[in-house]
């Protein structure tokens, strides 16, 4: 048996059920495990702690599959975990709300490195760690048996795999390949999802509950949707009766998807403007022109890829939120987000507060926002709470 022996005192995080073991916590490795192979993890005193997947290159050297000594890490283990994850989504009534949801959310469902999303009749998988890659076949076989779909597609074309010594890869895993963009329904709003080439696995499923909230508050409002991607928040605002929506997205090809989504939902083109522009530059231009809005959504891409980037990212978040406050009308609403796992909520709140002060805006927090419930947050794994957001309301005019 390949065994990882930890340094004295380094078992504390595992006793609190956190599944990551960093290379610096390891005192000794007994055996020569291959990448992704299951290893036994024991304390310095040789007390059993868990079964985990070994990654010889990653800084996270082991990711724990199970803390139970009597549990075997085999095909039936993955089938059980996947079944439990799917059952959880059914209990949340997500299939009734949308034809798309996250079925397996890595550590949140006890399967580190495994992402499984469903888009109508297709499943999209990401295998982000050495352990997930090693058990890929077993995971795909389980998905075939548990969920009835037309095809399973892989989107492991992400840079994080390089940290695990794995090359980016994408392509069909089973059944049919998606013939093109797939149509999903989210509470009566239809979206085209590009499974093969879209961001992440094709769509930002983690923002579902926040799109519903924007929809709720949009009636009669002028809405600015920044970093629009394929128009998710903008379409939600139109469904909620927004007076006007301006979608801003820098990537040219995405504007075709926004236009197609508008036509598919039969929304009037007259009340929607789609702009290709750098958001930072456009907001500065709007400030100069005296433009303003009732509701603004800031959902930028990940600014923080490493701890060393945190200071620079904080400046970016502050700048863009300051500009948004400048453009909000009295009693305006700001939906502002960070999807960077390294950005903690208390720091994000402080950055937004400082931005409001610099903008001369008196504002209050109406609601703390987070990821949709099909992206579960484990109580003992704070990193699983990666999407942070605030719903801010500016004060009435004096």
Per-position b or e across 87-98, b if 16+ CB within 10 A of its CB: ebbeeeebeebb
Distance, in Å, from the CA atom of 301 to the CA atom of 6, rounded to the nearest integer, reads: 37
For the chain, the C-alpha Rg in angstroms (whole number) is 23
Q: Which two tokens stand for residue 107?
A: 């550590």
The runs of H, that is alpha helices, within 92-153 are 94-97, 130-134, 136-146
Active-site option among 105, 226, 272, 339: 339
339 is catalytic: yes
Distance, in Å, from the CA atom of 272 to the CA atom of 255, rounded to the nearest integer, reads 12
The secondary structure of residue 355, as a DSSP letter, is H
DSSP state of 161: G
Q: Of 171, 188, 175, nearest to 141 (Cα)?
A: 175
Cα dihedral 72→75→81→82 (10° resolution): 180
**DSSP codes, 196-213:** TTSSTTSS-GGGHHHHHH
Task: Give the C-alpha separation, 297 to 328, whole Å.
Answer: 11
Cα separation, 205 vs 111, in Å, equals 19
Q: Quick one: 330 exposed, middle or buried, by C-beta within 10 A (0-12, 13-18, 19+)?
A: middle
What residues are annotated to the active site? 339
């Amino acid at each position: 048996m390949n065994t990882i022996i930890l340094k004295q005192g380094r078992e504390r995080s595992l006793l609190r059920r956190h599944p990551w073991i960093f290379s610096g916590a390891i005192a000794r490795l007994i055996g020569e495990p291959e990448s992704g192979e299951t290893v036994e993890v024991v304390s310095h005193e040789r007390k059993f702690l868990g079964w985990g997947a070994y990654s010889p290159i990653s800084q996270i050297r082991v990711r724990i599959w199970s803390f139970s000594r009597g549990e075997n890490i085999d095909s039936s283990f993955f089938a059980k975990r996947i079944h439990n994850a799917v059952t959880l989504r059914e209990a949340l009534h997500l299939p009734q709300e949308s034809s798309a949801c996250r079925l397996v959310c890595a550590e949140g469902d006890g399967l580190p490195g495994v992402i499984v999303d469903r888009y109508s009749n297709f499943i999209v998988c990401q295998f982000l760690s050495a352990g997930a890659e090693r058990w890929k076949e077993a995971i795909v076989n389980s998905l075939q048996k548990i969920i009835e779909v037309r095809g399973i597609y892989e989107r492991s074309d992400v840079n994080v795999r390089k940290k695990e010594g794995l090359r980016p890869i994408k392509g069909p895993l089973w059944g049919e390949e998606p013939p093109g963009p797939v149509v999903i329904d989210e509470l009566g709003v239809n979206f085209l999802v590009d499974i093969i080439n879209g961001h992440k696995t094709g769509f930002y499923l983690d923002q579902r509950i926040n799109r519903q909230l924007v929809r709720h508050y949009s009636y009669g409002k002028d809405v600015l949707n920044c970093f629009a991607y394929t128009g998710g928040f903008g379409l939600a605002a139109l469904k909620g009766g927004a007076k006007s929506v301006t979608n801003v997205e820098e990537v040219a090809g995405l504007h075709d998807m926004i236009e197609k989504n508008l036509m598919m939902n039969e929304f009037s083109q007259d009340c929607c403007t789609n702009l290709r522009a750098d958001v930072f530059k456009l907001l500065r231009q709007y400030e100069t022109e005296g433009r303003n809005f009732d509701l603004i959504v800031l959902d930028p891409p990940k600014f923080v890829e490493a701890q060393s980037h945190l200071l620079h990212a904080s400046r970016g978040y502050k700048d863009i939120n300051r500009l948004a406050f400048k453009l909000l009308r009295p009693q305006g609403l700001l939906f502002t987000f960070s999807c960077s796992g390294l950005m903690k909520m208390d720091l994000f709140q402080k950055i937004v507060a400082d931005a409001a002060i610099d903008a001369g805006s008196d504002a209050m927090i109406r609601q703390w926002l987070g990821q949709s419930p099909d992206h579960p947050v484990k109580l003992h794994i704070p990193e699983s709470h990666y999407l942070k957001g605030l719903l801010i309301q500016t004060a009435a005019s004096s």
